[in-house]
Chains A and B, each alone.
Chain A
């Protein structure tokens, strides 16, 4: 199966909505950036606490010079949805995100390892397939 997800080509990064399914089956949507430099998907501690998957936010976490995010734990999310794909038991980093970043997740290389990802910047679309045999069809 392959999905096509649109993004705003005028934005500085590729922003995508990501969804966490809570234990009581509510769907929580957060903004994420597709980040090929992040080895693993990360969520903000605030988002994970709100969703019920983090008991306590670590206080006093500050960004070290030059770092993008400050990771300090991992959790397993029973169900997430990214680019229309349902992902079960996704292990993610818990990170401190600055509020001015305006996002609560980075979609990392783990996503690229599991899906065939094609970025068409001219059209502003992201094509994601679930296996190597998917032929990428131009819309």
Chain B
């Protein structure tokens, strides 16, 4: 059985990648502490590819989010 990797180690080892993590250890709020990286790729499609693993899993991105939030986006999206 593979050794578990901490979330900080995953971020260093797989920068700007999507990860599928199994055998996760999480804190009481559900934040990942460690686990085994079952899949990793810069391509999200590869990590989310079917068939799904028959295990409880977590999906994480190690890069910086470019999510375009903010009130201007909300206003354009929902009202104007």
Contacts and interface: CB of A to CB of B under 8 A. Distances in A.
B76 to A, nearest CB: 4
Given A6-B31, A33-B69, A68-B69, A46 B48 contact: yes
Interface of B: 18, 24, 26-27, 29-32, 43-45, 48, 50, 52, 54-61, 63-69, 71-74, 76-78
Contact of B54 (A26, A31, A98): A26
Contacts of B61: 31, 99, 102-103
Contacts of B29: 5-6, 16-17, 84
Contacts of B78: 37, 39
B30 A29 contact: yes
A38 B24 CA distance: 30
A49 interface: yes
A28 B3 CA distance: 21
A112 interface: no
Interface residues of A, number: 39
B31 A68 contact: no
Interface in A21-47: 22, 24, 26-31, 33, 35, 37-39, 46-47
Contacts of A27: 56
A100 interface: yes
A24 B29 CA distance: 23
Contact of A101 (B32, B43, B56, B67): B67
B31 A17 contact: yes
A37 B68 CA distance: 12
Nearest to B58: A29
8 contacts: A12-B67, A17-B31, A22-B52, A30-B58, A66-B77, A100-B63, A100-B66, A102-B61
Interface in A52-105: 52, 66-69, 81, 84, 98-104
A103 B18 contact: no
B67 A102 contact: yes
Contacts of B64: 102
